[in-house]
Amino acid sequence: MRVGLIVDSACDLPHEFTRQNGIVILPVTARIDDQTYIDDHDPVKTAEFYERGLLQKGHHAETEAFSAEQIQDLFLKDIVTRYDVAFCETVTRSRSLIFDNATEAMNSVMAHYQEAREKAGLDGRFSMRVIDSKQIFAGQGLLAAHTLRLIDENLSKNALRNRVEDFTDRIYTCVIPRDLHYIRERARRRGDKSVSWFGAFLGKALNITPVIFGQGAEGRPVAKTRRFDVAVEKVMQYAASRVRDGLLSPYVCLSCGLSWEEINALPGLDELKAACDENGVQLLLSQMGITSSIYIGPGSLCLSLGAEAHDFTDYQ
């Protein structure tokens, strides 16, 4: 049974990890000023965006999910003809239309896939499942990495789906937004009132950098610092301590909307790397993708891991 895994462009993973494991990227359309780009996780394109400062202030940037018709075309061309079973894990449906559009596309594909498989010389049935990851960015990347491990266990498709969906509720994520005003403006344009004007004002007036922590995409402020590097060090120390206490999956996923020079100089990163090495955990470190960076703002950081119930303050 050939099992394929699809993620959308909001999923942050190292490009080489994605390539080596054959993960299929469902692109997202990015509109920056008057230009339209397709975010397909091309590392060269992503690096160019950072180098040119296209995600900085002064540029109007938005993302748009592929339509159901566009997704259907991708499924029929690249998925139906390569796999017997496919799982499409999307960014949390509370933040994007990708889940709904992918589900509509899947339903259409399931009614018409036979012709595409016959043309490709394939026999047998095809099945597919679209899963709401309930995650954003690094959290979605962590779920994808864990799913690959489950695929290697040769589970039945139903058991695999159940294990994946169960793990979505065991992912903890830390987000450090670099600019609360950026998030508030994007939320306002989307009609999302989760970031208040007052909170954004305080963030700028007092130079406050919060640490947002929680399960999945729903988080709360657990620390407020005066400097970005202090917030980063708190998150790194939390993650290193949690790694030493044990994880439910041997991965920590960390994505940063920074240049690689800035990423490698992050305070506490060496401690986290050492903790991962000592405990058989793979640190999946990546430059934040275009879609993620547009959503949360350049210069931000997102870290995710899978663990038993705990709180950020348990490790401070």
The Cα–Cα gap between 163 and 159 comes to 6
Largest CA distance in the chain: 64
Domain boundaries, the chain: 3-169, 170-315
Q: How far is CA 131 from the centre of its chain?
A: 14
Q: Do domains 3-169 and 170-315 have the same CATH topology?
A: no
Question: Which residue type is seen at 166?
Answer: D
Torsion of the alpha carbons at 136, 44, 6 and 140, rounded to the nearest 10: -20
Letter string b/e over residues 207-242, b meaning 16 or more CB atoms within 10 A of that residue's CB: ebbbbbbbbbbebeebbebeebeebbbbbbbbbbbb
Query: Which residue in this structure is represented by tokens 């499942």?
Result: 129
Rounded average pLDDT per 10-residue block, the chain, 316 residues: 94 96 94 84 83 69 90 95 96 92 97 91 92 96 98 93 96 90 68 56 68 87 91 97 98 94 96 98 95 87 97 91
Paired strand residues for 127: 85
Contact (CB, 8 A) for 48 and 78: no
| pLDDT score at 51 | 80
Give the Å distances, CA to CA, from 292 to 70, 227, 234, 264: 21, 22, 22, 20
Contact 171, 304 (CB under 8 A): yes
Residue 214 CA neighbour count, 13 Å, CB half:
10
| pLDDT for the residue 203 | 61
137: β partners: 11
Q: What is the per-residue pLDDT for 4? A: 96
For residue 258, give both structure tokens.
Answer: 């920074």
**Residue 253 tokens, joined:** 């996923």
Confidence (pLDDT) at 37: 84
- What is d(CA 176, CA 301) in angstroms, rounded to the nearest whole number? 5
Pairing label, strands 24-26, 127-132: unpaired
Fold adopted by 170-315: Hypothetical Protein Tm841; Chain: A;domain 3 (3.30.1180)
The reply to whether CATH 3.40.50.10170 applies to domain 3-169 is: yes
Residues in a beta bridge with 242: none
Task: Please state the length of the chain.
Answer: 316
Strand order in the sheet with 301-306: 218-225, 209-215, 171-176, 301-306, 251-256, 282-287
Q: Which residue has the tokens 């889940």?
A: 99
pLDDT of residue 293: 87
pLDDT of residue 192: 60
